[in-house]
Structures are given as structure tokens and as C-alpha cells.
Chains A and B, each alone.
Chain A
Amino acid sequence: MYCADRMPARFLLLLAGLLLSLTALAGPKIEQWTTANGARVLFVRAPDLPILDLRLVFDAGSARDGALPGLASLTNGLLSDGAGPWDADRIAERLESVGAELEVDSARDMAWVAVRTLTEAKPLETTLETLAAVLARPTFESDDLERNRKAMLTAVRLGEQNPGTVAGKAFYRALYGDHPYGSPSGGTRESLQAITRDDVLRFYRRYYVARNAVVAIVGDLDRARAEALAQRVTADLPAGEPAPALPPVQPLAEGREIRRPFPSSQSHILMGQPGMRRGDPDYFVLYVGNHILGGSGLVSQLSEEVREKRGLSYSVYSYFSPMRREGPFVLGAQTKNAKAEEAMGVMRDTLRRFIERGPTADELTAAKQNITGGFPLRISSNSKIVEYLAMIGFYRLPLDYLDRFVGRIEAVTAEQIRDAFGRRIHPDRFVTVVVGNGQAAAAD
């Protein structure tokens, strides 16, 4: 299936009353408590469907890899490969024979274990029993470790054949240097070969503990049952300690351009700098500003200039990836090699103009209408709500985050956007990565 990826840019149809009526919109009712051993729980009751979504998030992403890139991901992946009395086959069989779904995965900040099950007694019981073991009694058998190590090594090689992945790795490394965010989440050949079972055990014991966990629950159950359920899946975790604070991200001192020759028909372009963190005082201002610049698909300024006016790229965008510390602010595109310089020039010009002038009144109105008018879509399913809960809990955002979302967006002014981009975005100090065959290689 092929998508046109159409979306919006400046606009016109002013619909009186739209903003007003949406101001009243509130998020779902979130309840919060802490389990006996210190795991924080966020819960939303969703009685319409007989489904339970349960997501446990640990501060155990690749930012905790230390000297061994890939350790967080390897540890997380092994959780479902053996736990309590069950091996990987039995765990999969138990869950799938009642139609339950299990997901284990990790990113830079977080590692998570998530299940979705019917709330009927038997599937629910089987799922909870299995989940409790996966969390608290993983076996980390050597055979499983070796198999997962090989799979990650293959994934590293697959990444090396993908110009977009090559560009992404180089970008993070250049942006963050020795900061934990610079470490490749999937590991390197050397680190993956060096990781031992003891490393995995030590990582697991340190980070998969109750006080380092957030439990997000959405489903057809009442508060009392939700409490019992959260208690049950976390009961066997030691209380432990929260992970320590991550070191601050250093701003980039100077601009840097990295060109990697690659036998691809397109050049993959990434440019940017450390951006903002979750809970950042400029969060909503930068979010709305970026929506106009490159975050709203086809109607964004970048899309208008690079794609709509010039036909240079299928996908061109910008985004902030807010994390515990300053996650990246990125502008990206891919274009055929011969057009790489032109595309980069247009992207830079568009950004510079935006920083200088900020958005027009019409652009700002259109962006607000899109974001606030689309608010009901953000919370329209249990699976979306459970992700919001995990995010709010993990980053300790206020429980009224969703209730206040629309109002915070509406309060943003054009002057605030111009001011925030001017203060925080410095194109002259950007990291620029180009992977492709556009130019001869330059020094790295």
C-alpha cells in the first residue's frame, strides 16, 4: 500500500465556534496510586469493550547501556524468552492460546512490557500469571542469550545496508557524543560480542524494580480490581531504587557536516541539534511552531517548499522528539543524489526564515485549529490512551495534562514561537548528515 502522505500549510476556512467548543474538551479521568513496593500506577476505566491493556514502563532504555551499547535492548528482549517454569515456547503458547498479545520493546529512555487481553476470567488469569513471571522471574538462559545476540548482530548488519539507518546512527552520535543518548540502541558488533550473561543479570536487577516502574492500565474494570491487578503483576519485583538522573545534554559548540558515501540512488539528509525535553517550559510553544514548520505533513512550510513547490522529496519533515533530557530537533528529507544540495538549501532557507519571522497569524490559527480540533482523535481508543498514561507517568507530567492540552495550545502566540525558536534553535551550530552518493566523501 502506498500513501500520499497528504497534510496541511496555511489555510483559509475560519470556522467560528470551533475553538470555543473545543475548549471544553477534557481528557479521560486518570486515577493514580502507588503499589506497596513503590510502582506508580495510572489507570483509566474503559467499560465499552471487554479488553484490558496493561503497559509496564521501566527507566531501562538504552540511555542505561553504559559501556555496553545494546545491553538494554538485549535484556528487554530476553524477558519473554524464558520466565519462571516456562521457556519461550511455553510463554508464547500460554498467551496465544487465550488470544492475548505481548509486546516487549525499548527505546532510549524507556523499556516496556505490554499486554492486551480479553477481560474474561480465563484469558485474564493466564495473562496476568504469565506477565508476573516475565517481569519478576526471567531465566536469561545462555542459549536464549546467544540466539538473541546473533539476531541483534544481524540487525546491525541490516542497518548497514539501509542509508536511512546509517544516517540516523551518525546523527545521534554527532549530536550527543559521549552522552548516553549517543549510544546506538541496537548495539555495535563489538559491544554485542562483549556482553555477558552477568551483564544482563546486573542490568535486569538494577533497573527492573518497582520504584523504577510505571504501570499504565486501561480497560473494563473498576478501581478495586485495577489495584489488585497492579499489585499482582508487580508484587514479586523488589522495590529497588529509581534510576539516577541522566547527565545533562551539552549544546553543540559548532556546526558540523558529515558525509557518508553510500551506493544508493537517494541521499538521506538529517540536520538538527538537541531540542527539548518532556515537561520543557517551551514545550507547547515549540510544538505548535514545529507543527507549522514541518510537523503537519503536506501543509507544513517544509513540505510546501521542498515537495509541493519543487517536487524534490516524497518525505520532508521536522520534529522535536522530547525525552527525559533534550531529545533531538531534526529536519529530514531524502532526494535523488543530484538534488541533495538543492534540497538542503531549501530546508535551511525555510528554517532560517521561520526563525526570523515566526508564523503568520493565518498559519498560527490554522495550526491551532488542526491540533485542537483533532484532540478527540488523540484519545479515541484504549491503545492510544494507554500510551498517553505511560508517557504521563514515566515523565511525571501532571495528571491533568490531557485536560489542559487544548487550552495550552490555544494560549500560544506567534511572538512566543518566534522568541522560542530564536533562543533555542541555532542552524549555524547544526549537525548535518548526508548519506548517499551526492558528493565525494569529506572528512568525518
Chain B
Amino acid sequence: MRSIVALLLLLFVLPLQAAGKVQEYRLDNGMKVIVKEDHRAPIVVSQVWYKVGSSYEPVGITGISHVLEHMMFKGTEAHPPGEFSRIIAANGGRENAFTGRDYTAYFQTLSKDRLEVALELEADRMRNLTLPPEEFVKEVNVVKEERRMRTEDKPTSLTYEQFSAVAYRVLPYSHPVIGWMNDLDNLTIEDLRRWYRLWYAPNNATLVVVGDVDPQQVLALAKRHFGPLKPERIPTLKPLREPPQRGETRVRVKAPAKEPYLVLGYKTPVLRTAEQEWEPYALDMLASILDGGSSARLSRELVRGREIAVSAGAEYSAFTRLSGMLLLDGSPAPGTDMATLERALREQVDRLREEPVSRQELERIQAQVVASKVYELDSVFYQAMQIGTLETVGLDWRLLDQYVDRIKAVTPEQVQAVARKYLTDDALTVAVLEPLPLENGTTAPATTGGNDVLR
């Protein structure tokens, strides 16, 4: 078994080189430019990442980063609303944007000779957005519809939203990326103007370009279009820390549904906040022990084995700006009650605390990590995504190259150590979805979307 892993690791060096090195530049105005060559296909992906997202938002204007992301398509002096999208389309491009807790990003995928079209437009809307009030009135309604679709009418999303809201006492990860409906109702165009001025500047942005390009040419284009933009004084964020949790927290969520659902979360550090650099990698490994594929413990023991869950998962990310959680979730199999499912998930955690994981389990995960590093090279978009995420949460993208070695270095003792240190009952939050009837012919309970007092 161990020899297989060694073989795979050797192999992994080759395609990385074939895919080309990463070049990093900084423009005079502070904007970072990162270029990765990948010459397999004549295409290029261009992403502009801003250091702003829902975790930057104070209560009262939650969701503003995401609404601003929508408004970024609503025109500048040079290009009226909608023209950005039309130009990208006419150049054969695909585009979109996304907002997360720690970032807002805009991307285009294009034939390689069209890169400049994207850079010119992105540079323009970095500083010159007009934010017309009449467009805002319509677009905030679109965002509310998005919230209804993603959250209000989805019992599992509602459960997760309530879970996060009670799990974090201090960290702004407590509020949803899309924002609370009340805050969307009260958002104004002036709020957006302020938010845009505050964060949208070259010294708060990173351009990531991956594809069939010459880094020097990309740099020249970036200088031409982004170079003239003036930097801003970007607000300094206070360091936020979640105070120690002093006992289990539970929340029940009632919503029209057919099936119950359960979320468990333990407060855990991330790379930026861990006392020991190996801890987040050990937590990453721990999550894979539970849920790294169909042969991992949750599928093997709870879905098959005891057959008490129809689905069960575990999730952890080391690459966020602030500390986070190791999450477990599950849906019970017919005939299993929620208490049994919860006990089973917690017993899995107990076991990680009590006994070291097997060498065989570690090696399986190492093999998966090594292989997926190669598979990633099949997607230029994903490669750019990883670089952009790390840069924007305040980490060095070079960590990506070290990732396999770091995971390989994790020992069974370290997995047990992080389980004992962080997966404690007092640091646990539990949310349980309790289905309300949704039989046909009834009218909607006043709670579903009833806070909507529009126009």
C-alpha cells in the first residue's frame, strides 16, 4: 500500500510542471496579478477577486456584498447596464460572479485571444460603476427572489442558516451570505455606493489568469487596463475572535417539510488561526476519515453497516479568513429517530478521540489527495479558483503546492490530538429540523416569506 502512494507522488510532479509555473506580480497601485500557464486548450479564464464578502458586513446591511455583486453588471459611464454581459457574450465568452463569506469574485472564460476584452471591462467597473437607483430597485427584488428560492422555501437551508446564527456568538460567519430578508428590505443605493467606494480598488483586488497565455503579455495587458486606477485607503479590519464556547448549544428549526435533518458543528481553527500549523491539516484529514468517499466511515458504517442514515457527511475547510467549524450532517433512514442518528454521529467523534485512525485509512486519503491534485489540472477554472481563494482569505497560493506534502505528513496521533482538543461536547452546536405538515390545500404559514413588505 505504501509503495503505491510513493509511486503516485512521483508521478504528480510531472503534470504540475507540464501545466506551467505560476507567476506573481504587483502593479504600482497595489493590485496583485497571478498568472498560471496551461497550454492544453486555446482558452483562458480571468478572475478578479476582491477582499470583501459577507463576513465584512455589520449587522443591518447583511447581504450588501452580494447585492453589490449583482449591481456590478448594471453599468458604468462607458458601458450602460447589461452591456458588460453582451460584450462578453459577443466575444464567445462565459461569465458569472460569486460572493462568499470572505470574497467577491468575477470571472470570464474566453478563447485565449479575447482576454483583453475581459480585462478592459473589469478595470472599468472596478472604479466607474454608476449604480443607478432605478436599476437597484429592480435588482434587489431579484436578490430577494434568489433568497426565497435558495433559503425560504428550502427546509435544509433554513436549518443551516439558523444553525450558523446560533453557533457563532461573535464571528460574522453567523449571518447568511445572501443576507437577512429584513436587511435586504432596508438596503439603500447610498449603502451600496459607500460599500463600493470602501472595497473596490486595485489595492484590494487580485487578478488571476489561468490558461494558454504568456505571463509577460498578461502583465502588460493588466498594466495597461488596471495600472491607471487609483488605489484607496482600505479599512483595517479589527481582529475578531470567537470566545470559547462553554457548553453545548442546541436549536430546533420548524419548517414545512417531509424529512427531518440534523447538523452538528464543532468550533475549529483554520490555517490563519491555528496554534500549530499542522492542526488544520490534521482536521482536514479527520474530515476525510469520516467522509472522504464511499469507503470512509460515515458511508461505510452509518449508511451501509448500521443503515441508520440515508446520507451523512462531514466537512471542514482550512482555507478561510476566520476560524470555522468541522460540520457533520445527516438524514435518518426510515425507522430511525433523530436521537439515534445524533448519537451515532457523536459516537464517530468519540471514536476519533479514543483510538488512533489506521495507517490504511491515512494512506487511502493520501492516495485520493494525490490523484485529485492531478485531476484538478483538467480544469483551468478550478485552478484559478484555488489561487484566488487562498490569496483573498490572506494565505499564500504557494500553500497549494505544499498541500500534498502537508497531508502526507499527518500522523494518526495528530488526528487523535485535534479530535481531543477541538471536537469537545462543550464546543458543539446542534440544529435539528422538525418538519411541519405541508399537505396540499393548506395556506402557507405566515412565517414563510411573510416578512416581505415590498413597494
Contact = CB atoms under 8 A, between A and B. Distances in A.
B240 interface: no
Using C-beta atoms within 8 Å of the partner chain, give the interface range for chain A: 35 or more
Interface string B153-195: 1110000000000000000000001100000000000000000
A1 B99 contact: yes
Contacts of B333: 147, 150-151, 154
B143 interface: yes
Contacts of B408: none
Interface in A83-129: 88-89, 92-93, 95-102, 116-118, 120, 122-123
A153 B335 CA distance: 12
A375 B114 CA distance: 13
A150 B70 contact: no
Contacts of B374: 49-51, 118
A263 B4 contact: no
B40 A334 contact: no
Interface in B20-56: 40-43
Interface in B75-132: 81-100, 109-111, 114
A88 B294 CA distance: 8
Interface stretch (A9-17, A221-229, A238-246): A9-17
A2 B89 contact: no
A321 interface: no
Interface in B383-404: none
B78 to A, nearest CB: 13
Interface string A203-217: 000000000000000
Contact of A157 (B85, B258, B444): B258
Interface stretch (B196-204, B218-226, B361-369, B417-425): B361-369
A427 interface: no
Interface stretch (A131-139, A271-279, A353-361, A376-384): A376-384
Contacts of B70: 4
B148 A336 contact: yes
B441 interface: yes
A262 B43 contact: no
A314 to B, nearest CB: 4
B256 A263 contact: yes
A299 to B, nearest CB: 5
Interface in A250-272: 260-266
A263 B438 contact: yes
B311 to A, nearest CB: 8
A50 B94 CA distance: 28
A92 B293 contact: yes
B86 A161 contact: no
Interface stretch (A304-312, A389-397, A412-420): A304-312
Interface stretch (B10-18, B228-236, B345-353): B10-18
A12 B86 contact: yes
Given A1-B99, A97-B364, A437-B444, A373 B114 contact: yes
Interface stretch (A33-41, A178-186, A280-288, A364-372): A364-372
B145 A334 contact: yes
A7 interface: yes
Interface in B334-382: 334, 360, 363-364, 367-372, 374-375, 377-380
B85 A89 contact: no
Given A1-B99, A263-B438, A100 B371 contact: yes
Nearest to A310: B138
A6 B96 contact: yes
Contacts of B99: 1-2
Contacts of B378: 49, 51, 381-383
B449 interface: yes
A23 to B, nearest CB: 13
B73 interface: yes
B93 to A, nearest CB: 7
Contacts of A31: none
Contact of B310 (A6, A151, A309): A151
A196 interface: no
Given A49-B377, A96-B368, A147-B307, A13 B145 contact: no
Given A98-B4, A373-B92, A374-B92, A123 B440 contact: no
Contacts of B303: 147
A130 to B, nearest CB: 12
Given A6-B95, A99-B371, A381 B153 contact: no
B17 to A, nearest CB: 12
Contacts of B440: 260-262, 441
B299 interface: yes
B449 A336 contact: yes
B85 A7 contact: yes
B257 interface: yes
B142 A311 contact: yes
A5 interface: yes
A263 B177 CA distance: 24
Q: By CB atoms of chain A within 10 A, which of B110, B310, B448 has the most?
A: B310
B345 to A, nearest CB: 17
Contacts of A371: 92
A96 B294 contact: yes
Contacts of A307: 142
Contact of A158 (B259, B367, B379): B259
B131 to A, nearest CB: 15
A161 B149 contact: no
B149 A366 contact: no
Given A123-B8, A307-B142, A369-B91, A154 B259 contact: yes
A400 interface: no
A337 B69 CA distance: 26
A174 to B, nearest CB: 17
B90 A12 contact: yes
A297 B145 CA distance: 16
A315 interface: yes
B321 interface: no
A372 B111 CA distance: 10
Nearest to A97: B364
A383 B449 CA distance: 40
Interface string A138-160: 00000000010011011101101
A61 interface: no
A99 B372 contact: yes
27 contacts: A2-B66, A2-B98, A6-B85, A11-B86, A18-B91, A48-B18, A49-B40, A49-B377, A118-B374, A154-B333, A157-B258, A161-B257, A260-B440, A263-B444, A263-B445, A264-B256, A264-B444, A266-B145, A311-B145, A312-B142, A313-B145, A314-B143, A314-B145, A370-B89, A374-B93, A380-B41, A383-B378
Given A51-B375, A96-B364, A374-B92, 14 more contacts: A1-B98, A7-B96, A8-B86, A8-B89, A12-B83, A50-B14, A123-B371, A155-B310, A261-B441, A266-B149, A304-B82, A313-B142, A379-B41, A381-B379
* In the A-B complex, the 9 residue pairs with the closest CB atoms: A373-B92, A265-B449, A99-B371, A8-B89, A311-B138, A92-B295, A311-B141, A92-B294, A314-B146
Interface of A: 1-15, 18, 22, 48-51, 80, 88-89, 92-93, 95-102, 116-118, 120, 122-123, 147, 150-151, 153-155, 157-158, 160-163, 260-266, 296-299, 304, 307-315, 334-337, 366, 369-377, 379-383, 437, 441
